[in-house]
Amino acid sequence: MAVEPLAFFTVDSGGASTAAALIGRVGGRFRLLASGAVPADVPVEMLLRDLAARVHAVEPELMPPTAWEQLTRLEGASRVPGRIVCAAGTPGRLADLERAVGAAGWEIVLGVLPGRPDTLALREALLDRRLDAVAIAAADPPRSDEREKLHPLAELIARTVSRRADVSVLLAGGAGEHAARFGDLHVTRAAAPEPLPATAETLLRRSAEELGRRGTQAAATGRQVPDVRAGFRDAITALAVLLDRPVEGVGIGWNAGTRALAGPEGLRASLTRSDGGLLPPASLGGDRRLDSVLRWSPLRGDTFTMRDRVRNLMLAPWRDASGDGARLRLAAARAALSRLELAWSGGDKGSPPGPPEVVIASGGAFAVAPPPVVALALVDTMRRPGSTAMFLDHARILGPIGTVLDGADRKRLLADLLEDALVPLGSAILATDLRPGRSAGTLRLRANGRRSELELTPGSIQLVDLPPGVAGTAELETREGVWLGVRARRFVLDVTGGLGGLLVDTREVPLRLPERTERRREVIDGWERPLWIGGEQ
């Protein structure tokens, strides 16, 4: 049986690695035939040829030896976050601007107010060769005091960057009246920033995203290709419509992290953060960022040596993926998830609705850990009381598929590939406010015609065997009541199995790790070790 003409590759060109998958139409539907990933420096053709060869080795009729060269590629790339200086006349306006621009994936190198920082420091930042853009914001129309404060600041910025053809300018709201100062520079006028959560899809954020997408290129080919993070967001939205339930997606790459929540009605919330990447560029210098990774690491070693290991991970994230290196990489992924969670929660600006019924993880950061440990990392950092089914986009195809322009084609592809593309990690029940006592509560699981019972222990995480493909019902019963978004003494929840089984988590929200380094390592190791299946202990 030969592959019908509608066969293609998906290619996700990330900052550290390139993932590709061979999709073929077999038996009337699209199937994932092979997938793999290589470091970003390796030519993508080597990977594509290898995928085709693997399929040919198993089913020669399905993929003749040289047929792969003619196949279409559905390609997306993740750009290196651009560096931007943000300026406004008032602290509130600046905070609103930074929230929108930061959620669009920009790395904010400096926030500027009148008189802060000093003129020399500002000029130095504006002259930095690595700067890509400047954003200035004001209310629309600006109040007279705001206009008065912004006028000299905009003049100074314009005078300094106007000689730089390589810098783009984003003028939000009333700041647009300064457009003429910037001469021949590329100027984008956008809506004024609003006091909304970072996850809100505002007009300003969309403008900032479009500005950032200029020049997204695939590392391997240098061609202009769609933004794979936007594609991931669109794929999550399509999945939520397809499954008719809330779906949350989280993608951790080398350069940035993306999170999106969608429901049957469409996209509800999303953001992309440069500090949501596995190891943002700032990690090389500052010890604080390195230590935030080591907080999640169960590895033993003196602090200075471990910091150097994290720095080397930043320089070559595809190396040392076996043994201890994998655990260190997972610690970095947890730290990235935590930073993304902090931005997602929004502080005083409120948080998006949740919890989702389905969480899908994607990105090269999760490629070096067994699926059960990935499930644990999600539960450790994305803490919403309730029940969630978790999946892994192991072949990183959601991003490229999300770039398909036709919504109907996108849905059809996802419907066919759902089972092949998403590895079931399992389910998690996160129940808090469990009172310690002789019998804190009980969980009864009915699945596959069998019943099992588990005593609930406050402040713990317990693993119940629930294999992939098995669905069940979990009944929680407590004397004092438990919090799963609402408080009750008895809950009945539908759960699905996966490689990580069923995780019953009664630890606090947010998760508090011991302050003492050695105790913290013991605790994290205790959580991880049972799930690191197949590894040497």
Partner 1 sequence: MTARRATTAVTRRYTAARPVRPGRPGRSDRVDPLRELVPLRRLAVPMPLCWFALGPADRPMVEAGQRIGRGDTLLERARDAHLAEVSVRAPVGTRMEPVRSPVEGAVEVIEPGAIGIRATGVGIAGVVMHGEPVHGRLLVLADAADAELRATAVDVQGAGAIVVAGAGLDIETVTRARATGIAGIVTGGIAGKDLATLAAADQRQRASLHPTTGFAVLVVDGYGRRPLPGLAWAWLRAAAGTDAGIVADPPMLVLDSEVDPPLVTYDVRIAAGDALGMEGRLLGAAGQRRSRSGLYGAVARVGIRSAGSHELTEHLVPFADLERFE
Applying CB under 8 A, which residues contact partner 1?
A: 38-39, 41-43, 46, 119-120, 123-124, 126-129, 160, 163-164, 284, 287, 304-305, 307-309, 311-312, 315-316, 318-323, 325-327, 368-370, 532-536
Number of neighbouring beta carbons within 10 Å of residue 268: 20
User: Which lies closer to partner 1 via its Cβ, residue 245 or residue 311?
Assistant: 311
CB of 168 to partner 1, least distance (A): 15
Sequence-distant (≥ 6) Cβ neighbours of residue 384 within 8 angstroms: 354, 355, 356, 430, 485, 509
Among residues 310, 321, 317, 293, the alpha carbon closest in space to that of 535 is found at 321
The DSSP code for 530 is G
Among residues 269, 142, 243, 132, the alpha carbon closest in space to that of 188 is found at 132
User: Which lies closer to partner 1 via its Cβ, residue 308 or residue 508?
Assistant: 308
Q: Give one DSSP letter per residue of 257-298, joined into a string.
A: EEEEEEETTEEEEEEEEGGGSSS-GGGGT-HHHHHHHHTT--
Q: Cα angle vertex 424, ends 419, 430, to 5°?
A: 140
User: Which lies closer to partner 1 via its Cβ, residue 43 or residue 264?
Assistant: 43
CA distances to 12, 13, 239, 400 from 18, rounded to whole Å, are: 6, 5, 23, 12
CB of 111 to partner 1, least distance (A): 19
CB of 523 to partner 1, least distance (A): 20
CB of 313 to partner 1, least distance (A): 10
CB of 124 to partner 1, least distance (A): 6
- Sheet harboring 133-138: ordered strands across? 107-112, 83-88, 133-138, 168-173, 187-190
Using the structure block, give the residue that is written with the tokens 């699209």: 30
User: Which lies closer to partner 1 via its Cβ, residue 28 or residue 534?
Assistant: 534
User: Which lies closer to partner 1 via its Cβ, residue 92 or residue 286?
Assistant: 286
Number of neighbouring beta carbons within 10 Å of residue 316: 11
User: Which lies closer to partner 1 via its Cβ, residue 6 or residue 127?
Assistant: 127
User: Which lies closer to partner 1 via its Cβ, residue 53 or residue 179?
Assistant: 53
Among residues 27, 35, 20, the alpha carbon closest in space to that of 6 is found at 27
**What are the counts of helices (DSSP H) followed by strands (DSSP E) for the chain?**
13, 21
CA distance 14 to 11: 9
CA distances to 112, 125, 215 from 186, rounded to whole Å, are: 21, 19, 14
CB of 370 to partner 1, least distance (A): 5
CB of 514 to partner 1, least distance (A): 25
CB of 530 to partner 1, least distance (A): 13
User: Which lies closer to partner 1 via its Cβ, residue 43 or residue 437?
Assistant: 43
Q: Helix/strand/coil (H, E, C) string of 84-122?
A: EEEEECCHHHHHHHHHHHHHECCEEEEEEECCECCHHHH
CB of 413 to partner 1, least distance (A): 27
CB of 534 to partner 1, least distance (A): 3
User: Which lies closer to partner 1 via its Cβ, residue 308 or residue 465?
Assistant: 308
Phi, psi of 224 (to 5 degrees): -70, 125
Sequence-distant (≥ 6) Cβ neighbours of residue 205 within 8 angstroms: 100, 101, 103, 104
CB of 325 to partner 1, least distance (A): 7
User: Which lies closer to partner 1 via its Cβ, residue 323 or residue 510?
Assistant: 323
355 membership: H or E segment, kind and range: none
User: Which lies closer to partner 1 via its Cβ, residue 30 or residue 366?
Assistant: 366
Half-sphere exposure of 257 (CA within 13 A, CB side): 26
